[in-house]
Structure 1
């Protein structure tokens, strides 16, 4: 049942696609392609993950690449050479994408998700009617085993299994909707899986979970995400309301939710450079960007402004991933 408040938000949810979004000439059409070409099918599959390139795939690759490069700082030996890192880079991207895809399909295939995407992301595969929900479900059943087999071959198998469990919890057992605490926890664990697996791939399949210094850093990253990832919920309150999700801003209110971002952001942007004994330049960059996110969360409250704040949050996370490099430079 849709909350009466949802109707207040419905008009706010309708927006033009951003300039970087794929064209969706078929969006809103009333029929599906009868005999789609191979390129049409491939592009339809790609659209499931397009919006997550900047939030999941690129940052995860950055973490794996940076951390593998200075792996001796984490007591990981032997360190890969530049040539090995470059050779393994496509495999790192493959791991991120093929493990993200089945989760994204499961997340987007439900009627309420299609209705929401029809309003704010009409270029996606299902609202654009490039594929039926049943075809998407069948595709998901194919790619979950493919993700496991790929991880078995190139590394990151435990993280893959972890993402399968987290994804089923998130999409099928109320993990995304029932509680903002559970939602943030799953996001935190998911981030840790997504960033640590490309690192293992970059290290040639070497497991990193048994390394104490690596575990500490991953736990810090997971806690950072748990306490600040509600940044992504600020601009999507309309969609979450329609969806019936109990995201943090809908539970505690818009104002308190913004303070729940600003306070931990202020702490983490100071703590993380301190943890790595970073150089003054690094301190300035991370603190400035973190305080910018905190300040924008409090002062700039439109949907477009919140969306831009979330992009800055993702950039700040990438800066955190690069912090261990400063131990080498400093």
Structure 2
């Protein structure tokens, strides 16, 4: 029993470990923003944040299992330590895992009253992975934008605030996920070429892709800082918050051009995900 549990924990970690930042953490972060916006009590916050963590985990877990089922050949080049690529889990076993997790995810979303956003993510996952939308840059990027909407709309609803204010933030955060998301593909170009994919960096070429990504980061963060953070609350906390976002943005863009290697691009993508996670937390600080 203990060995089975230990193996399951190891497999689960192997599936999700690279994507915990973008897949899990924005859900409780944006749920917290929703709770603070409506001045929820501490007694309300604890269970809501707990639900948000579990929902975010299932959101992430369903996607990464599906993604790794359809991306075995790429993973053998780019990420050979993943469970399926390494041989720790078979494709057939992972398929059973995916459908079990998806059923649990949809049922849990239904119980929380966010089933429509869970369903949107399931449909997006199917389009991105088995239907092959991830093989072409524009459709892959669109799926990531839809995934951001599904993730954050559910998170805001779990906090119980009216949807309008949440949507005002989600629109800009989604722009950050939709436009500069090809940054994640810079680190995977060798594997994508081997798999025959045409991601945005492959379609545009290396330097134009870096310009395109940088423009998306700059525009989205300018809109977030000017029209969401500082327009709603102008005080020491939001000025410090804005300064932190500016520094991270500048650092990410500097790295994109100063250190152009697969190793550096992996770190730049990590910084990009830190900025993404920081944005729901920015909403929590601003809307408190």
TM-score normalised according to structure 1 size:
0.78
In 2, are the aligned partners of 1:105 and 1:136 still within 8 Å (CA)?
Answer: yes
Cα pair distance change 1:156/1:280, threshold 3 Å:
same
Question: What are the residue-to-residue correspondences of 1:100-179 with 2, within 5 Å?
Answer: 100-110=60-70, 113-177=71-135, 179=136
Question: Which of 64, 70, 76 in structure 1 is aligned with 2:31?
Answer: 64
In 1, are the aligned partners of 2:128 and 2:143 still within 8 Å (CA)?
Answer: yes
Instruction: Return the alpha-carbon distance in structure 1 between the equivalents of residues 175 and 207 of structure 2.
Output: 22
Structure 2 counterpart of 1:94: 54
5+ residue gaps, structure 1, are 1-35, 73-78
1:316 is aligned to 2:272: no
Secondary structure, in 3 states, of the residue corresponding to 2:134?
coil
Secondary structure, in 3 states, of the residue corresponding to 1:131?
coil
Question: Which of 258, 265, 273 in structure 1 is aligned with 2:210?
Answer: 258
Secondary structure, in 3 states, of the residue corresponding to 1:109?
helix
Question: Which of 175, 192, 213 in structure 2 is aligned with 1:223?
Answer: 175
Deviation at 1:326, TM superposition (A): 4.8
Which one is further off, 298-307 or 157-166? 298-307
Deviation at 1:59, TM superposition (A): 2.8
TM-score normalised according to structure 2 size:
0.88
Alignment length (residue pairs)? 279
Deviation at 1:132, TM superposition (A): 1.4
1:298 is aligned to 2:244: no
5+ residue gaps, structure 2, are none
> Deviation digits for residues 67-105 of structure 1, max 9, x if unmatched?
124323xxxxxx422232223322211111112222222
Question: Which of 214, 227, 245 in structure 2 is aligned with 1:275?
Answer: 227
In 1, are the aligned partners of 2:169 and 2:283 still within 8 Å (CA)?
Answer: no
Instruction: Return the alpha-carbon distance in structure 2 between the equivalents of residues 291 and 174 of structure 1.
Output: 34
Instruction: Return the alpha-carbon distance in structure 1 between the equivalents of residues 175 and 248 of structure 2.
Output: 19
Secondary structure, in 3 states, of the residue corresponding to 2:46?
helix
Secondary structure, in 3 states, of the residue corresponding to 1:228?
coil
Which one is further off, 283-292 or 318-327? 318-327
> Deviation digits for residues 105-130 of structure 1, max 9, x if unmatched?
221123xx223323433332212322
In 2, are the aligned partners of 1:64 and 1:196 still within 8 Å (CA)?
Answer: no
- RMSD of aligned Cα (Å): 2.1
In 2, are the aligned partners of 1:114 and 1:127 still within 8 Å (CA)?
Answer: yes
> Deviation digits for residues 220-255 of structure 1, max 9, x if unmatched?
211221111111111111121122221111001000
Deviation at 1:328, TM superposition (A): 5.2
> Deviation digits for residues 171-220 of structure 1, max 9, x if unmatched?
1222101x3111111101101212232332333xx7x5xx3232222122
Cα pair distance change 1:141/1:318, threshold 3 Å:
closer
In 2, are the aligned partners of 1:240 and 1:246 still within 8 Å (CA)?
Answer: yes
Structure 2 counterpart of 1:41: 8
Structure 1 counterpart of 2:138: 181
Instruction: Return the alpha-carbon distance in structure 2 between the equivalents of residues 116 and 107 of structure 1.
Output: 11
Instruction: Return the alpha-carbon distance in structure 2 between the equivalents of residues 39 and 170 of structure 1.
Output: 31
Cα pair distance change 1:325/1:115, threshold 3 Å:
closer
Instruction: Return the alpha-carbon distance in structure 2 between the equivalents of residues 68 and 291 of structure 1.
Output: 29
Structure 2 counterpart of 1:26: none
